[in-house]
Structure 1
Amino acid sequence: MKNEPAYQLPRISQAGMNMLVYQAILDHQDELKLFGGEADRPGFISLLTRQLLELKTGQVSVLDLQQVAEQLTDSSADLDAKLHDLVLIYDSFETAMLGKYVANTDLLNQLSDYLANVDLSHAHFYFDGFSQTQFSAQEAKLLTTLMQRAASVKVALILDQGTSTPADINEQSLFYQPARTYLRLYQIAKANSITVLPDVHATASRVAPALTQLEQYWQASATGLVSQRTETLADTQAVQLIEADNRYTEVARVAAIIRKLVAEDGYQYRDFLILTRHLDQYATVIPPIMTMQAIPYFSDVSQSMVDHPLVELITALFEIKRKHFQYADIMRLLKTELMLPKTDDGQYLSIDAFRDALFKTENWVLKMGYQGQRWLQKEDWPYARLQSDDLAR
């Protein structure tokens, strides 16, 4: 997609879009009924720009907005005036953007249009992290394209059960939001005659039976399915409530308990699972405490894939092929540290040794200006390291 003409357009910043909106107001000053005198009010342009971007994200075009304005004519003088002004400014804003700039809100639509003409019959897509948020109209359009073109599209949701009809959704349920997402995806698939795969549920419980009992009681009481009666845990010592002043104190207490159970009660570190609703808020707290307590751990906090080493490696591989072994692309590949060479005894080079060799290689490549075919030659590069006493001679 990087080579597509639309993708090559200059990216416009928030400030740039604010300027276009301000210019649109000035151009239609005499036609505006409500916004004409608001252009110089602090914060107004930013709010109006945000409104226009929300319309674009919601796949609401100028024509759609104009039709709504016509349908709601005479319903309210203020609403009529606002819709009238929005249509004028939105149309002017879109005209100013067309063929000259691209905003981040346009990229998903461009990606969807691009993928509609790409063979994805062997591609599988997985989505996670949408249990507490709804897919925007643009995201739903992209998902629809992937459903139609890809081998499979799988979405992970935190749910008790799938809901294929609106009547199955309980507004009081703890899973109300992901249930709405499930229903929307189900309806999109059915509307486009796309086969819906059977739901896959997590079957193995990863927590103690007492915690499962507490969870079930909480869900039932939150949805009004059971009366507010007292229920006793099967193991009253299995669940403990501890109050902490802050996250650091909280995690330190948990780490101390883990260390004690491993040292005195025969537990193993793999027996413990730490759960929290928002793991990202603990991303800077857990590592130092676990390291200080010498507790091996794995954190599955979500990370952006933009700068992930694997993404860098794949991108660099294509760039090396396309640009024929240029310095920047090769260093980009090697610095991912995902391609470690083997030593003469068949063992992978250690990270420290690899980094040292890479730094020396990079310095020599920069000094000698090696590019292209130099990386493919069979002969070894000449390399001489002079000492200070060599210069004295």
Structure 2
Amino acid sequence: MALELLFGRASSDHELALLERVQATLAADDQAEIFYVVPNHIKFETEIQVLNRLATLQDRHGAAVAVPNVQVFSLSRLAWYYMQNDPIYRQANLSATGMTMLVQSLLREHQTELELYGNLLTKQGFISQFASQILELKQAGLSWQEVRDMADALTQQGTLQMKLHDLALIGEALDQELATRNQYLSSQLLAALRVYLATEKTDVSHHYYFINGYSQMTTPERGVVEALIERAGGVTIALPADDGSASVTAESLSENDLFYRPKRLAQQLRQFATDHQVAVTASSVTMQRPVSETITTVESFWIAYEQEGVKPNGQTPTPKDLAIWQATTRYQEIEQMARMIRQEVASGKRRYRDFMLMTRDLGQYENMLPAVFARYQIPVFMDLDRPMAAHPLVAFLDKLFRLAPAYTIADVMGLLKTELLIPEDVTVAEYREALAETENYVLAKNTPGWRWTDKQPWQFDRNVADSDDEVLREHVAEKDAQLALIHDQISTVVAPFLADLAQAPMRARWQDASTCF
């Protein structure tokens, strides 16, 4: 057991420093299992890069490389790796929706005890907001007694005091209910992993963890790392910090330090290791990443600014390829970027792939940025976490297996709007137009479920058949064809498939379903 702390500026090559230690560990321990741990949002690209760089260090070359006994995980994926077959993991199955429903029940049960929110239980959106605030407090690692103590100290802020009282009241009730059910919240998976590691159900004495990409950790994340420090073969974590951070003590650490959070995390991990008689070493990363002079100049400026303050005019170097803009609104900011990118690409100097836009909170640009970039015909990918339930395939399967026997309008339309059933000879535009026309038709007629499975053709307006107006008849015939396109998908494709599936044994059902898709 050992903990190694690596410190270096962001321009330092933390990854190479860790991979050199990975290589040394594999050479020293023939039973070693290596886990390279990074935040979830950079796991995919890190996995490719880490394996390629490690293969290069080991002098392995080729179009495809494989590095045995090395895996790149996020902490949540690490929880799955260890606990996938353990009851603890299966108990951590209460989703955010399930938590909201449980909080709603507890609010009603304790309504008379609420000091602030007793009259808001029927307000639209209140329950989900209240549940999310409870979740934030739990993820911050605060106990409900600590929340109560905070409330008691706010004698001059009555509203906030009552709010914290209500949150603590329902939070304690929620914990008690989950304990009774022997459940965890899905968001508490890391806490479950720490409990699992403490049970010694798995031997991690030859497991080595190399952690990169973190400047701070939540309490549950730090708890997992502490459990690994105590039981694993070794833990090495690289943290962004300025020169000399390896020798910083708790007494010399200042909250005004630019790198206060990573240094504070290092102090917490160092103290935990010391308390549990685990050897600790600290060193600096001297190797540099291949970044431009502009990036290193900006990095040095902010470090110097935090340490020395603003320098007199003319003493701060300004790189030629650095431009600073000021925008009054986010929309104007996006507009300026889109115009500049479009001009650079049109001139032939750049490609779209040459540009990366970074912001502290991408969620604030989620709606505006795609619309503005689409107007400038700029392809863009936004690296936002999206719930799997919103994926078209998941929505398709969910609606498909809920269709029969009711065939409600909402479920049918939800299934078809995933656009995963478009016939090969129909364009997307034609399909969307037919689907919109059909939706208007079934809503106007209040079409019952059995009509979807009935193979008798639908008629847009049966009274037009005897009309002398040829233009009107052609118009109605087009509408009939659109209705037939959508209706036939359900009556001749989906309904027979679900009927056959219902008649098959359970194992054959899933085989048939997988063959179908």
Name the TM-score, length of structure 2 as normaliser: 0.43
> Structure 2 vs 1, CA of residues 192 and 245 (structure 1 numbering), >3 Å: closer, same or farther?
same
Name the residue aligned to 1:90. Answer: 171
Q: Which amino acid aligns with 2:210?
A: Y
Counterpart pick for 2:312 among 228, 232, 257: 228
Counterpart pick for 2:136 among 54, 60, 72: 54
> Structure 2 vs 1, CA of residues 84 and 124 (structure 1 numbering), >3 Å: closer, same or farther?
same
Counterpart pick for 1:246 among 337, 343, 364: 337
Does the 8 Å contact 1:127/1:155 carry over to 2? yes
Q: Which amino acid aligns with 2:128?
A: S
Name the residue aligned to 2:235. Answer: 153
Name the residue aligned to 2:273. Answer: 189
1:99-147: CA deviation from partner (whole Å, max 9, x where unpaired) = 254322221111111122132111111222222xx31111111111011
Does the 8 Å contact 1:280/1:302 carry over to 2? no
Q: Does structure 1 residue 8 correspond to structure 2 residue 90?
A: yes
Higher helix share: 2
Q: Does structure 1 residue 124 correspond to structure 2 residue 205?
A: no
Does the 8 Å contact 2:294/2:321 carry over to 1? no
Does the 8 Å contact 1:38/1:44 carry over to 2? yes
Percent identity of paired positions between Structure 1 and Structure 2: 29
1:230-266: CA deviation from partner (whole Å, max 9, x where unpaired) = 1486xx9x7434689436955995996689xxxxxxx
> Structure 2 vs 1, CA of residues 230 and 189 (structure 1 numbering), >3 Å: closer, same or farther?
farther
SS in 2 for 1:155: strand
Does the 8 Å contact 2:100/2:127 carry over to 1? yes
Distance 2:151 2:163 in 1: 12
Name the residue aligned to 2:39. Answer: none
Does the 8 Å contact 1:121/1:150 carry over to 2? yes
Q: Which moved more, 1:71-80 or 1:145-154?
A: 71-80
Name the TM-score, length of structure 1 as normaliser: 0.55
Q: Does structure 1 residue 201 correspond to structure 2 residue 285?
A: yes
Q: Which amino acid aligns with 1:150?
A: A
1:5-37: CA deviation from partner (whole Å, max 9, x where unpaired) = 232237223222112111112112233333221
Q: Does structure 1 residue 18 correspond to structure 2 residue 100?
A: yes
Number of equivalences = 270
- Aligned-pair CA distance for 1:38: 1.9
Q: Does structure 1 residue 108 correspond to structure 2 residue 190?
A: yes
SS in 1 for 2:176: helix
Distance 1:19 1:35 in 2: 17
SS in 1 for 2:239: coil
Name the residue aligned to 2:515. Answer: none
Distance 1:280 1:247 in 2: 18
SS in 1 for 2:220: helix
Does the 8 Å contact 2:151/2:164 carry over to 1? no
Does the 8 Å contact 2:239/2:262 carry over to 1? yes
Does the 8 Å contact 2:208/2:232 carry over to 1? yes
Distance 2:266 2:105 in 1: 42
Name the residue aligned to 1:180. Answer: 264
1:280-305: CA deviation from partner (whole Å, max 9, x where unpaired) = 98xxx9xxxxxxxxxxxxxxx9999x
1:294-334: CA deviation from partner (whole Å, max 9, x where unpaired) = xxxxxxx9999x9xxxxxxxxxxxxxxxxxxxxxxxxxxxx
- Aligned-pair CA distance for 1:79: 5.4
Name the residue aligned to 2:217. Answer: 135
Greater relative contact order (Cα 8 A, min sep 6): structure 1 or 2?
2
Q: Which moved more, 1:37-46 or 1:212-221?
A: 212-221
SS in 2 for 1:246: helix
> Structure 2 vs 1, CA of residues 184 and 110 (structure 1 numbering), >3 Å: closer, same or farther?
same
Does the 8 Å contact 1:73/1:80 carry over to 2? yes
Q: Which amino acid aligns with 1:147?
A: I
- Aligned-pair CA distance for 1:197: 2.0
Does the 8 Å contact 2:140/2:219 carry over to 1? yes
Does the 8 Å contact 1:10/1:100 carry over to 2? no
Does the 8 Å contact 1:74/1:80 carry over to 2? yes
Does the 8 Å contact 1:221/1:228 carry over to 2? no
> Structure 2 vs 1, CA of residues 256 and 202 (structure 1 numbering), >3 Å: closer, same or farther?
farther
SS in 1 for 2:235: strand
Does the 8 Å contact 2:151/2:160 carry over to 1? no
- Aligned-pair CA distance for 1:195: 2.0
Distance 2:343 2:120 in 1: 53
